[in-house]
Homo-oligomer: A and B are copies of this chain.
Amino acid sequence: MEPVRRPGGRSARVRTAVHEAVLDLLGMEDWDSLSIAQVAERSGVHQATLYRRWGTLGALIDDVVTERLSQGSPVPDTGTLRGDLEAYAVQVAADVAGPLGPLYVRAAQVGTRVHDDDQLYMMDRAVQLQGMLERAAARGESPPTLLELMEVVIAPLYYHAIFFNRPVGADHARTLVDRLLSLPQ
């Protein structure tokens, strides 16, 4: 049986401290060189506790990723299709450029093992984006499909960050939205 954990209790504080340590370390280290020992030292939580609670470094990182994804920014609702798309594109560009960028890539690769939580997040996000496009259609605008949005705007943002380690800025994100909106209907 799971022990009862009071929210905000010791268990939650440990989790917060450990997550913060992982995120701090990721700002300084490559994934490959991160270790449980470093997380223990930085968080002040015993290695034995980390192993007991998370089992492996991989499982701990998954937990951090899932937590961050669940706190993701809401899908924009600015009143216009272009406004929504630009706000969303700029936000994704900032996300992948930030210190947490590698988390998303890691989550994606972890995704080959199909984590229920990550899958749910991806589906949930797709549903929200679909809603954003449907609001535009309801206003009489002609939105692209969700597939077009992902391929024309989101994929290049990740591609630049992943393959060239050189994420793009807000201006380029807006250029991608221009391209999306100029697709033949």
Residues of A within 8 A of B (CB): 30-32, 58, 102, 105, 108-114, 122, 150-152, 154-156, 158-159, 162-165, 176, 179, 182-184
Contacts and interface: CB of A to CB of B under 8 A. Distances in A.
A158 B110 CA distance: 15
Contacts of A182: 183-184
A105 B162 CA distance: 9
A179 B147 CA distance: 13
B152 A152 contact: yes
Contacts of A159: 150-151, 154-155, 158-159
Contacts of A122: 163-164
B108 A163 contact: yes
A109 B114 contact: no
A176 B152 CA distance: 10
A30 B113 CA distance: 8
A47 B85 CA distance: 52
Given A155-B155, A155-B156, A109 B58 contact: no
A184 to B, nearest CB: 6
Contacts of A176: 151
Contact of A31 (B109, B164, B183): B109
B162 A156 contact: no
A127 to B, nearest CB: 15
A169 B158 CA distance: 21
Contacts of A154: 159
